[in-house]
Amino acid sequence: MFLVAVTARSLSMTVNVVVTDMDGTFLDDAKQYDRVRFMAQYQELKKRNIEFVVASGNQYYQLISFFPELKDEISFVAENGALVYEHGKQLFHGELTQHESRIVIGELLKDKQLNFVACGLKSAYVSKNAPETFVALMAKHYHRLQPVNDYHDIDDILFKFSLNLPDEQIPLVIDKLHVSLDGIMKPVTSGFGFIDLIIPGLHKANGISRLLKRWNRSPQNVVAIGDS
């Protein structure tokens, strides 16, 4: 898949970075991929000095679980751009002030039917009172997920919040959060019933741009594979 895309683009340009999304793109419906085939493809990318980047809304610790043998070789734009790792080393992370975090948490807690995860540098956090089905779902995307009695007591750098709710409720919730959190966080849909609250400007494209600047490589030389 990747070599086909690279070869096609190489007919008219030089490709030196391949970026892929995970859910619905790199992974199949069972959240797996052909590891033997990919390793062979990855070795070809290395021979051509092509960087491989995973860009996803999911947690960094979840993403590296798919690439245990490569986590220090490839790069990751995790948490929808709020956390960037280059070859096993943290390059960038976003950060809400404590005041901003309290505003966001307070706003989300106003709706007693709304369940959410607070995403931080060390871990993600979910209320001890959240439904088991919600916790089980979020644990698939956040491998470091800690229960908390009170979101306000979290001792971590927070940079994203993630919600999951029925599709028919999403437009109304997004409209409300656009107004109540204007200038602090931006609500975006990420598919599969998820809404992510991101720091304005900290999205996947921003994270990818940080890596390209680091490598002195141009967006014109990037093959991006994914639905967002």
25 burial (CB, 10 Å; 0-12 / 13-18 / 19+) is middle
Question: Which strands make up the sheet holding 75-78, listed edge to edge?
Answer: 89-93, 83-86, 75-78, 51-55, 17-20, 222-225
29 burial (CB, 10 Å; 0-12 / 13-18 / 19+) is exposed
* Whole-number Cα distances in Å, 110 to 20, 104, 125: 36, 10, 18
- Smallest Cα–Cα separation from 161: which of 121, 211, 195? 195
Terminal Cα distance for the chain, rounded: 18
Catalytic residue annotation: 21
- Smallest Cα–Cα separation from 125: which of 108, 149, 103, 101? 149
